[in-house]
Amino acid sequence: MITAKIVVLLGLLGLATPVSAQVTSIQYFLIASGFFIDNVLVPFLVAIALLVFLVNAVRFFIIQGGSEQGREKAKRLMLYGIGAFVFIVSLWGIVNLLVNELGFGEEMAICPDYLPTCMSIDPRQGSIIAPGRISIDSGRNSIDTGREPGPDTRQPGGVYTGGGDTGGIDGGTGGTGGTGGTDGSTGGTGGTGSTDHLPTPTGLNSGISDLVFEGAAESNSISFAPGPPGAIDSTVAIPATETCTDAMNTLQLASAVENNQAAYLFYTDSGGSRQWANVTDATSPNGVTYDGDTIDQIRADGGGDLYLITTHQQDATDFVGLDANGYPPTSSDLDLMCDTLLEDMTHVTVDWNQIWVMDNPETLDCPRRPEEQFAFPVVESFLQLSQIDQGTRNQEYVDLVNDSDVPSQYRNALEGYETVDFDSYEDLIVGGVANPALEDANVELYRTDTNGFCFNL
């Protein structure tokens, strides 16, 4: 558990428990201090020092030009202004060293109410966001694969098989932009583009295949066993009244250092207050069992505006050999969104770098149709591809589509991007390849950070 891994160090420092809350508080104290000094204190002090210097420069050269005593006093105050500049720059450098160089990234920066311009910035800006899909339109239109797309012949709700809408990015080779990735079916052939960037298949199992289709695939479930959640003592403790930002940052830290997943319900109680409840009945590195009795009881007590939040562990991606920056939602996460107990909730997965938020569209009638469920592994595969290191994506893609353990129907769905140099694009653009599959799965999904998530509650 996270407390077991860092309690010795914090004990030596004399910090009180709960440990996870203390870690988050220390982090946020440094982050908030850095933000205040950078954006408020430093500009204010610089303005004062500049004013002192300029006023006394005028006094030295003009107003007190005939008074030696006045010139001496003005000169002294000018030196004080220069000294203030040196002090301010030193303070700014030290604070930024603490905030940036010690691992407290800018993605955790806060947006306080004393900076009115801050509130005009969309906290989701730059994230994967759009109603109805992951939808990075720039991703779909920016990748040049050297061919003209064929017509889009997909029907709403049809099976996503790698063709249609050119495989999710303009100019993909998923067939020829026809109906299902079958070469020349209905889309017109166009040019095929260059595949010189493609590496040779290693012949080894793909890490993404292990994570999506094989033994390391996530498996979530719901239990109605009597009693409180059975795995509370094996997961990080979140106080019931913890703030959203502190709790989410604690869960991101747990995703990085804990072995097993954990699940929490974040909800509004009958009195209108936000509350946290641990609903982890059983846990493993590749799945969690939600405590259905606890969720039912929270509802019965008047709980509403429910967010089901699950951690995704870095250990899981490390285990399959992926050097990943995140662990997006899985097929199992998407499948449970239509469970009778959970379908009215917002589903959230937390990894060590970002937060993924999923909703069912208002027009969706649960349970999902088989063709919608079919798209889940395709979504998961391309999202995970976007999260591995930029220089390894082409090799991982080639190994994925050549992995014999990938079922043939899914291999067909994943093929068709041979002319796309995944290594040359940012993760947001690569993630856009999942757009058509998300449309077919009928899922709303966006990626954000702690501040973006909590700001929008």
- Residue spans per domain, the chain: 2-120, 137-455
Q: Determine how β-strand 346-350 pairs with β-strand 304-311.
A: parallel
* Residue 284: strand, helix, or coil: strand
**For position 107, what pLDDT does the model report?**
39
The residue to which tokens 């558990």 are assigned: 1
**For position 153, what pLDDT does the model report?**
30
Q: What does pLDDT average to over the chain?
A: 76
The residue to which tokens 């951690």 are assigned: 311
The residue to which tokens 């407390």 are assigned: 3
* Residue 4: strand, helix, or coil: helix
Range list of H helices, 114-227: 137-142, 207-212
**One-character DSSP codes across 381-430:** HHHHHHHB-GGGHHHHHHHHHT-TTS-HHHHHHH-S-TT--GGGS-HHHH
Q: Which residue in 361, 336, 357, 360 sits closest to 347, CA to CA?
A: 357
Which residue ranges in the chain fall short of pLDDT 70?
1-35, 38, 65, 98-198
What's the N-to-C CA distance of the chain in angstroms? 29
* Residue 451: strand, helix, or coil: helix
The residue to which tokens 């309690």 are assigned: 7
Give the distance from CA 284 to its chain's centroid: 21
8 Å CB contact between 194 and 202: no
Give the distance from CA 434 to its chain's centroid: 16
Instruction: Give the integer Cα–Cα distance in Å for 237 and 250.
Output: 9
Q: Which residue in 37, 12, 21 sits closest to 99, CA to CA?
A: 37
The residue to which tokens 């220089």 are assigned: 391
**For position 261, what pLDDT does the model report?**
96
Question: What are the residues whose beta carbons fall under 8 Å from the beta carbon of 140, sequence distance 6 or more?
Answer: 168, 169, 170, 432, 435
8 Å CB contact between 85 and 74: no
